Structures are given as C-alpha cells and as structure tokens.
Amino acid sequence: MMTDKDCKDFEKTLKKINEDTFNPRGSNDLEEQIRVLKFRNETLHKHTEKQAQEINSLRLEVKRLEKEVSFYARDQFRNQGDM
C-alpha cells in the first residue's frame, strides 16, 4: 500500500523522467553532457571512497588476525617445549 508520501515521490520521479526524456536541446548538447559527466564523476568518487574505506578496514583486520595467530603459535610452541 502506498502512502501519500510514496505517491508524491513517485510523481516527482515520473516528472523527472519526462523532463529528461523530452529535453528539447537533444543529447548532443554540451551542457547536458557536462551534467551527465559530473554526475558520473561524483558517483565514481563516492564508490572509490567507499572501496578505500573498506580496504583500510580489511587491512586493519588482517593485522589484528596476524597478531592473534602469532600469539597462539608462540603459546603452542611453548606448550610443546620447542621454545
């Protein structure tokens, strides 16, 4: 069931699609191309930033796990009398 807010949002989306579809200047308009390229650039920057944050968090997790494994390995050698 759609609320009034959902209906208004849907109406805005349809209106925007109609405006984009019936652009009187055409797809070769430089202003339109600039707008599209700026949008793509912004989207790619956001995606790249998200990936960089994910990579950094994974690196921290790997370092933590390496320390944990080395700690347990030392304990295991001590228990076996190898150290």
Q: How far is residue 83's CA from residue 78's CA, in Å, rounded to a whole number?
A: 5
In a domain, 49, yes or no: yes
Amino acid at residue number 49: E
| Exposed e or buried b per residue across 65-83, where buried means at least 16 C-beta atoms within 10 angstroms of its C-beta | eeeeeeeeeeeeeeeeeee
Query: In this predicted model, what pLDDT tens digit does every residue of 7-37 receive, in sequence order?
Result: 777 777 767 766 655 556 665 788 888 988 9
Which pTM does this prediction carry? 0.51
Q: Confirm if 70 and 61 have CB atoms less than 8 A apart.
A: no
Tokens of 36: 């599209």
Number of domains forming the structure of the chain: 1
- Residue-number span of the structural domain to which 54 is assigned: 29-83
pLDDT score of 6 more than 70? yes
In a domain, 6, yes or no: no
Mean pLDDT of 58-73: 92
What Rg value do the Cα atoms of the chain yield, rounded? 27
